[in-house]
Amino acid sequence: MTDRALTSHERNAGVPWDASYHHGLPPWDTGQPQPAIVRLAAENAFHGTVLDAGCGSGENALHIAARGLSVLGIDVAETAVAQAKDKAVARGIEAEFAVADAFRLADLGRTFDTILDCGLFHACDDQERRTYAASLADVTKPGAAVYILCFRPADGAGPHPVPREELEAPFADGWRLARIREDRIVAQFAPEGAPAWLATFERR
């Protein structure tokens, strides 16, 4: 994508998100869906049309789609999206993947009943989080659910841990915090999982 502004993470790192996928798996990609997302799926948390915002190489989206749900995974990293498409074909799973900007979801021209964010929110700065919450509102109707899995402050925390108040703040208007619990994010640098929040926000 050439018509978007660089994110705070890209500016700080000095390279675009896509570069993370040029030399094997990036540190956050284990080649498997996140255990927390597998549990959510088993609880039938995902329903209707599903958006995976910041889908990476598609493992979470593919796991959800394999359960028969309509899933669109988006990411700004073209290489990651291409990998996700290849996986869908190889596994015979019907899932849609596209290069798109999570801060401009209205450009998709559609709405969703359930949205998953696994590891995107904690990579945003404060202003981006507010922009992102507004973008999510653009593609959801009352009753829609957003699930956010992000690093939380604790011993062994991953990069960019988010205090609970900073997680809730962007969703103060137009959303209800339906549930929040402590969980873990598995990564190559944390095979046993780093401390995380798993939060559910419902659109008012």
What are the 10-residue block averages of pLDDT along the chain, 204 residues in total? 81 92 94 98 98 98 98 98 98 98 98 98 98 98 98 96 98 98 98 98 98
Query: Tokens representing 82?
Result: 């291409």
Q: What are the CA-CA distances from residue 192 to residues 30, 42, 111, 150 (Å)?
A: 12, 21, 35, 15
Query: Tokens representing 61?
Result: 């989206």
Domains of the chain: 8-203 (3.40.50.150)
Task: Say what the pLDDT of residue 4 is.
Answer: 87
**What's the DSSP call for residue 3?**
S
The pTM for the full model equals: 0.96
Rounded Cα–Cα distance for residues 26 and 39 (Å): 23
Task: Say what the pLDDT of residue 2 is.
Answer: 55
Task: Say what the pLDDT of residue 174 is.
Answer: 97
Task: Say what the pLDDT of residue 1 is.
Answer: 56
| Residue whose structure tokens are 């094997």 | 24
Rounded Cα–Cα distance for residues 146 and 157 (Å): 23
